[in-house]
Amino acid sequence: MHDIRTIRDNPDAFDAGMARRGLSGLSSQILAIDTARREKITAAETAQAERNAASKQVGAAKGRGDEAEFERLRALVAAKKDEIARLNDEARAEDARLSELLMGLPNIPDPATPDGADEADNVELRRWGTPREMSFAALEHYQIPAAQKGLDFETAAKLAGSRFVVLTGAMARLHRALAQFMLDTHVTEHDLAETWTPVLVREEMMYGTGQLPKFGEDSYRTTDGWWLVPTAEVTLTNIVNDEIVEEASLPRRYVAHTQCFRSEAGSAGRDTAGMLRQHQFEKVEMVSITRPEDSAAEHDRMTRCAEVILEKLELPYRTMVLCTGDLGFGMRKTHDLEVWLPGQNQYREVSSVSVAGDFQARRMNARYRPEGGKPEFLHTLNGSGLAVGRTLIAVLENGQQEDGSVTLPAALHPWLGGRTRITAEGALV
Which of 349, 369, 419, 421 is catalytic? The answer is 349
pLDDT of residue 223: 96
pLDDT of residue 265: 66
Are 216 and 277 in the same domain? yes
Q: Is 369 left (phi over 0), alpha (psi -120 to 50) or beta?
A: beta
* Domain assignment present for 412: yes
Among 103, 138, 173, the domain-final residue is 103
CATH number at residue 90: 1.10.287.40
* Domain assignment present for 405: yes
Which of 288, 352, 354, 405 is catalytic? The answer is 352
Are 96 and 132 in the same domain? no
Q: How far apart are CA 100 and CA 24, in angstroms?
A: 18
| Residue 102 CB neighbour total at 10 angstroms | 19
Are 306 and 166 in the same domain? yes
pLDDT tens-digit readout, 263-294? 976 666 677 789 999 999 999 999 999 999 99
Q: How many residues does the chain have?
A: 429
Q: Please list the alpha-helical segments (H only) found in 189-232.
A: 203-209
Share of the chain above pLDDT 90, in %: 91
pLDDT of residue 268: 63
Q: Return the amino acid letter for 226.
A: W
The reply to whether 262 belongs to the active site is yes
Are 136 and 259 in the same domain? yes
pLDDT of residue 4: 95
* Domain assignment present for 78: yes
Are 93 and 124 in the same domain? no
Rounded average pLDDT over 213-238: 96
DSSP letters spanning 355-413: EEETHHHHHHT-EEE-TTS--EE-EEEEEEEEEHHHHHHHHHHHHB-TTS-EEPPGGGG
pLDDT of residue 425: 98
Q: How far apart are CA 400 and CA 137, in angstroms?
A: 10
Among 77, 103, 129, the domain-final residue is 103
Which of 74, 86, 277, 369 is catalytic? The answer is 277
pLDDT tens-digit readout, 47-94? 999 999 998 888 788 778 888 888 888 899 899 999 999 999 999 999
Are 176 and 273 in the same domain? yes
Q: How far apart are CA 317 and CA 306, in angstroms?
A: 11
Average pLDDT of the chain to the nearest whole number:
96
Instruction: Select from 238, 187, 199 the least CA-distant residue to 385.
Output: 187
Are 229 and 93 in the same domain? no
- Cβ neighbors of 234 (< 8 A, separation 6 or more) are 201, 205, 206, 208, 209, 211
Segment holding 107, helix H or strand E? none
Cα separations (Å) of 299 from 186, 210, 303?
Answer: 15, 19, 6
The reply to whether 64 belongs to the active site is no
Are 329 and 291 in the same domain? yes
Rounded average pLDDT over 8-37: 96
Q: How many CA atoms lie within 13 A of 259 on its CB side?
A: 10
* Domain assignment present for 111: no
List residues forming the annotated binding site for ATP: 262-264, 349-352
pLDDT of residue 320: 98
Are 323 and 411 in the same domain? yes
| Residue 48 CB neighbour total at 10 angstroms | 16
Q: At 284, give phi and psi (nearest 5°).
A: -100, 110
CATH number at residue 399: 3.30.930.10
List residues forming the annotated binding site: 231-233, 262-264, 285, 349-352, 382, 384
Are 198 and 330 in the same domain? yes
Rounded average pLDDT over 133-153: 97
What three-state secondary structure class fits 207?
helix
Are 54 and 132 in the same domain? no
* Domain assignment present for 90: yes
Which of 262, 301, 332, 363 is catalytic? The answer is 262
Does the structure show a pLDDT above 90 at 186? yes
pLDDT of residue 48: 95
Rounded average pLDDT over 340-349: 97
Q: How far apart are CA 27 and CA 5, in angstroms?
A: 12
Q: Return the amino acid letter for 28.
A: S
Query: Is 231 within 8 Å of 285 (Cβ atoms)?
Result: yes
* Domain assignment present for 108: no
The reply to whether 217 belongs to the active site is no
Are 192 and 290 in the same domain? yes
Query: Is 199 within 8 Å of 205 (Cβ atoms)?
Result: no
Number of domains in the chain: 2
| Residue range of the domain that includes 174 | 119-422
Does the structure show a pLDDT above 80 at 333? yes
Does the structure show a pLDDT above 70 at 308? yes
Q: How far apart are CA 88 and CA 278, in angstroms?
A: 48
Q: How far apart are CA 241 and CA 234, in angstroms?
A: 10
The reply to whether 249 belongs to the active site is no
Torsion of CA 92, 98, 100, 103, to 10 degrees: -130
* Domain assignment present for 428: no
pLDDT of residue 147: 98
pLDDT tens-digit readout, 374-406? 999 999 999 999 999 999 999 999 999 999 999
Among 54, 71, 103, the domain-final residue is 103
Which of 173, 390, 397, 405 is catalytic? The answer is 390
* Domain assignment present for 229: yes
The reply to whether 405 belongs to the active site is no
